Amino acid sequence: MPYTLHAFMVWNLYLAAIPTALALVLFRRPARMGTSWWLTFGAWLLFLPNAPYVLTDVVHMADDLRGARSDGHIYAVLATYAAFAAAGLVSYVVSMQLFRRFLHRVAPARLVLPILLAVHGLCVVAMYLGRIVRLNSWDVVLAPRTVLASILRVPHPFTVVLLLAMFVVVGASAFVTAAVGDKALAQLRRLKSH
């Protein structure tokens, strides 16, 4: 019996794709940064954490592995979660790479890295709020007091350590994914030029 996707996987992949779609609209070409641009940017910023959030869905994998009836089923579970995590990570990397290129066009060079690190940090906090507190992107609009109260409760020692670990793991994963993607694109360009 083949392994089937959970409904949450399909939903989370959909949410993970939204920031990439928005980034393609916002950051690919020079745009006039009027009201509609800023509203779209706000939506991108709110939905961006959904892309790396899929990495936290690994918590469900243990139950799926325990329920596996064969070695083939175990491999299917592992492959499904790997593909699922990779899709979210690629969405995050593409979004952040497009944002980085945009920043290089519009911001002083000395501000690019701090802005990227700040956005990455916000994503990590949002991932924590999503996984542990069970908040959603749209709660910023629908339940802003709950979101603010949750953020103010974050600075407990264990939570800070968890956030730092998430910052490093997601950041390192994104860095490796970007490096592999850049290498693959460079290789494709070389092949096309021959």
pTM: 0.87
Rounded distance, CA 43 to CA 132, Å?
Answer: 22
Distances (CA, A) of 153 to 122, 135, 137, 148, 156: 15, 14, 18, 9, 7
**Whole-number pLDDT of residue 2:** 56
**Whole-number pLDDT of residue 50:** 95
**Whole-number pLDDT of residue 20:** 96
Q: What is the mean pLDDT of each run of 10 residues along the chain (194 residues)?
A: 74 95 87 86 95 92 88 90 93 94 92 94 92 87 88 80 92 90 81 78
**Whole-number pLDDT of residue 5:** 73
**Whole-number pLDDT of residue 67:** 86
**Whole-number pLDDT of residue 30:** 65
Instruction: Give the rounded distance of the alpha carbon of 24 from its chain centre.
Output: 15
